[in-house]
Structures are given as C-alpha cells and as structure tokens.
A and B are shown apart, each in its own frame.
Chain A
Amino acid sequence: MKEQAIDIAVIGGGPAGLAAAIAAAKAGVERIVIFDRQAELGGILNQCIHNGFGLRYFKEELTGPEYAARFIAQLAEYPQIEVKLETMVVELTADKQLITTSRRDGWNLYQAKAVILAMGCRERPRGAINIPGTRPAGVYTAGTMQRLMNIEGFRPGNRAVILGSGDIGLIMARRLTLEGIQVAAVLELLPYSCGLNRNVVQCLEDFDIPLYLSHTVVEICGEGRVTGVKAAPVGSDRRPILERSFMIDCDTLVLSVGLIPENELSREAGVQMEPSTGGPRIDTGCRTSVPGIFACGNVAHVHDLVDDVSEESRIAGIAAAAYVLGEESIANGQKRVKVVPGRNIRSVTPQEIVAGEPSALYIRVAFPERDVVVTAGSHRSKHRIVTPGETVRIVLRPEDIDFNAGVLPVAVEGGEVNA
C-alpha cells in the first residue's frame, strides 16, 4: 500500500463535509479529499425531500436535495477538492493516517495534515429502547422508513403508529399520511414533543394526527407481521402504568427515538468525547483535543437545522485550513475559556471559546420552560419558550466573555426571578 500525502481529509460528504471542504479550498488549501460511503454526495439530505431547509443560510426555502445541490455545484469551481465515493474510512490514527477501502480502488493509505470529522449521526436502534413482545416484520426506524419511501419507492404498510416525536418521526407522519397510509397515533414518552414545534404544527396538527404525550409502547403484537401495539401512559417516573394500557391496531411501527453522533473513528483517533452531546469536545474553531483533527455537523452534536451545520462546518474548514497553512499559531497564543453548564442546561457546543473567534453557542436545555433568561458570561437574552427539542442559538460578543476567568458559566434562569 503506497502512502498518499494530502492536506485535508474530510470524512463524510454530507452537508458538513461539503461546507467544510469548500471553505478550506477557498482559504487556499491545495489537496483536499472528501470520503463518503454512499454512491452520491449530500448525505442524509438526499432522502429529506421535504422543504424548510436553507431559510437561514440561503434566505430561501429549499428541499433537502436542492440544499445539497447548492454545495455540490460549487465543487466544480474547486479542482483542489477530490471526491472519493463508495469509499469507507476504516481506520484513523491520532497522527492523521487513514486507511480506506472501496470496491473500485481497493485498500488505500493516506497521510493527511488535517482531518475533518463530518460523519454525521445515526438513529438509536430499537434494541436501545427494549420493547417487549414478538419481533414481527413491520418495525422500522424513522430514518430507514424515510429512505425506503423516498429513495426506494417502497410502501411500508396501511396503518402506522409512530413511537417518539423526534423531527424525522414527525416528518414521516406527514409523509405516510400524504401517501395514503393512516397514522393512528404518535406516542411520546416525555410530557413534551422532542421535535421542532413547527414540525408538530405542519406535520401533525395539519392532518389531525393525535399526539399522545407521556405515553409509550409496552408491547408489539403480531406473528410474522405487526398487528398492533399495546400503548400505555407513563407516570412522572416515566414507568408505564400497565392497568391503563390500550391496543392500537396497526401493521407498521415507526421508531423515532433519537439520534446519536457516529464517532467510532473519532474514538479510535483518541479524540476526547463530551458525554452531554455524544460528540467530540470542540472549541469555537471546531478543533478537537487532537491537534489537526476537527469535527463539525452532527458528528459533533445533533443539530436541528442543516443551516447551522453548514455554518459550523464553514468555520471548521477555515480553522483546518489555518492549521495546514501554518497560521494556527494565531489561535494557539489566544486565551481560552471553558463553557460551564449551569441550571437547566443539557449541553452547550462548542465547549471552549477561543478569544478572537466568532462565538455562536448552541444550547440544549434539559426541560421546557417559559419566560426565561439565558445567561452566558455577561450575555443575557430573554426567551418566551425553551424546550429540549429546539436548540437555543446565541451569539456572544467579545465583551460578554471574561477571558481571564478561564470559565464561562452558561445557564437558563427562571423568568420570574429575572423579570
């Protein structure tokens, strides 16, 4: 295996990898290679045929394929970006060596100066939520069903129940309804929806699909094929109240129980992970704990909006370019603060802020609250509603941060206290 020297290896050709590669090329990097397992670029956007993408980034409402095409079209202007499709990165070291495999090119070894992790996320499988009952056909995760229907043209069944109110589940409730498949119910374990409120409105309320909050599936019924699910309300301890369980007839069960960043390669390379996001710890330049390895998009933390992925990945591309071009010393000499999550904070990304870098924070709260004040250093902003389903994005000014303190406390304060 001959070693090939490249400047930047971008792992993943979805929205994150595309934006990062283009930004790095714009910044003057000469040899960039994007690796993707699939036969086409665009990642998950290819199966997201619905609209609502791009309102922030392009000030236009686009579908997933249209959004991806905006970036793919730009690649033509940058011959310094090479794309390796149907190619899997099987190994990544802290020294930024990569081993790849593909049917066409066989095994290859690359030595990169910098690596951008842009592998995205995957769905939590059914096993992770342990539903008792038989194991009949007709049980799908929401993302798998989205691919089956939108890419492969498959009709999954006639009557579906959706467990979990994540955004993909909500989008699929509408998609199934439009295809004439009745959605009997969406069940959510928590007392609030986990998706964007606008998706609850346009995907469920528009079609009168009932959303049962504080409910779960306690049994899947059917031999060979699903014939129904047994649903039950849950108490405040989230345990099902079996005496109040009821049957819902259906031939299809869709699971939309959350997404997890896909970080096998990151771990292998020894990147320090952040338990609250499931992704690598990153700073405002998307730098991980391993010098020269950067992470952006859903591999770093699950984003609500692809627009935010593009913006974050652009920053990763610029930072990786600075590292490769030897301009990194500028960031190295800068002061840093660590973000310290406080009241009602589940996660904050990035976890470290470097002085002089644009500081947008993506904050996920732990529980829903009304009329709150989000504080970060001396930043204060009022929010009418915060919920775990919708990230709060705040942009800090340099004067909001005390770089001598070394830490930046971030918290959600109860509305009454600060009113």
Chain B
Amino acid sequence: MRELTCIVCPMGCRIKAYEEKGQIRVEDHGCRRGELYARDELTAPKRVVTSVVTVQGCSELLPVKTAAPVPKEAIFRVMEEVRRVVAKKPVRAGDVLVENIAGTGVALIATKHIQ
C-alpha cells in the first residue's frame, strides 16, 4: 500500500493506493479526480512545469507553463529547453511558444500578456 497526498486540489486528501496482482485499488479519495491522480502516480506520474522566459527587446520576463502535465522524468529536459526560449512581443496569455516541448507532445504556452 502507498499513502499519497492528492495534489489536484487544495483539499489535499490522503489517498491509499493498493497494488494487487497488477490491479490498482484506491481508497479515501475525496473525488474521482483523486482516484485518477493516484492511478497516474503509481503508473506514470505527471506534473505541470512553470517558469519564465526572456522576451526580445524587453526587460520584462514572460511567465510560461506546459499546457498539460508532462511526465515527471521529463521535467528537467523541459526546463533545459525552456531556458533557450526567447519570446517575441506582443505575447498573449495562451500563445504557444513551443509546440512540443522536449518531445513530450505538450506545448509550452505564455501565461501573461506582454504588449
């Protein structure tokens, strides 16, 4: 059995996950999203990565995030690519900066407008 803290919402439910004969059974989750989180944690944990990138000709930094959670083991590869990104003005929140960041199949998007 593994005890997990669900990070999907602020309730932070302490979820119990049992692995029996290749089957995963989940207990004490507050909702369905928690059950999915626990299953993912045991099989393929994922996280959203957030950071900042520079903007050409602008001293302001642009906050960014992966549009969806990426596999946990890809986090540092994603960060390496994020560091090389230079955005161009104007940027709107939601604009795609990199279509497929570090081969994860997930886009890197802006999270703020910069005029």
Count chain A residues whose beta carbon lies closer than 8 angstroms to a beta carbon of B: 33
* Residue count of chain B within 8 Å CB distance of chain A: 28
B93 touches A201 (CB 8 A): no
- The smallest beta-carbon distance between B63 and chain A, in angstroms, is 4
- Cβ of A69 within 8 Å of any chain B Cβ, yes or no, is yes
A262 contacts across to B, CB distance below 8 A? none
Question: Are B10 and A55 interface neighbours, CB within 8 A?
Answer: yes
Evaluate contact between B54 and A153: CB separation under 8 angstroms: yes
Which A residues are in CB contact (< 8 Å) with B10? Answer: 52, 55-56, 196, 198, 304-305, 307
- The reply to whether A202 and B63 form a contact with Cβ atoms under 8 Å apart is no
> What's the minimum C-beta distance from B20 to chain A, rounded to whole angstroms?
24
- Let me know if B6 and A198 touch, CB within 8 A: yes
A390 with B12: in contact, given A49-B50, A198-B6 (CB under 8 Å)? yes
CA distance A66 to B79 in the complex (A): 20
**CA–CA, A317 and B74, complex, Å:** 44
Q: Does B47 contact A (CB under 8 A)?
A: yes
Enumerate chain A residues within 8 angstroms of B60, measured Cβ to Cβ.
Answer: 151
Q: Is A69 a contact of B47 with CB atoms below 8 Å?
A: no
Q: Is the CB of B7 within 8 A of A51?
A: no
Beyond A153-B54, A390-B12, whether A63 also contacts B111 by CB under 8 A is yes
Interface residues of B in 1-60 (CB under 8 A from A): 4-10, 12, 14, 47-52, 54, 60
A40 CB → nearest B CB, Å = 10
Partner of A66, one of B52, B76, B112: B112
A178 interfacial contact with B, CB 8 Å: yes
- In the complex, the answer to whether B48 meets A49 with C-beta atoms within 8 Å is no
Residues of B within 8 A of A64 (CB): 63
- Which positions 166-225 of chain A face chain B at CB distance < 8 Å? 178-180, 196-198, 200-202, 206
Chain A residues near B47 (CB, 8 Å)? 202, 206
The answer to the question of A150 belonging to the interface, with a C-beta cut-off of 8 Å to chain B, is yes
| With contact pairs A51-B65, A178-B49, A196-B10 given, residues A201 and B5 touching in the complex (Cβ less than 8 Å) | yes
B61 in contact (CB, < 8 A):
yes
Given A63-B63, A66-B112, A69-B93, residue A196 in contact with residue B51 (CB < 8 A):
no
Q: Which residues of B contact A206 (CB under 8 A)?
A: 47, 72
Residues of A with C-beta under 8 A to B50: 49-51, 63
Q: Mark B61-82, 1 if CB is under 8 A from A, else 0.
A: 1010100000010011001000
Instruction: Give the distance to chain B from A61, nearest Cβ to Cβ, in Å.
Output: 7
A390 nearest in chain B by CB position: B12
A156 within 8 A of partner (CB): no
Contact A61 B48 (CB under 8 A): yes
Query: Can you list the 7 inter-chain pairs with the closest CB atoms, starting with the nearest?
Result: A49-B63, A65-B112, A198-B7, A198-B12, A63-B111, A201-B5, A55-B9
**Which residues of A pack against B, CB within 8 Å?**
49-52, 55-56, 61, 63-66, 69, 149-153, 178-180, 196-198, 200-202, 206, 304-305, 307, 384-385, 390
Q: Write the residues of chain B forming the contact surface with A, with a CB cutoff of 8 angstroms.
A: 4-10, 12, 14, 47-52, 54, 60-61, 63, 65, 72, 75-76, 79, 93, 111-113
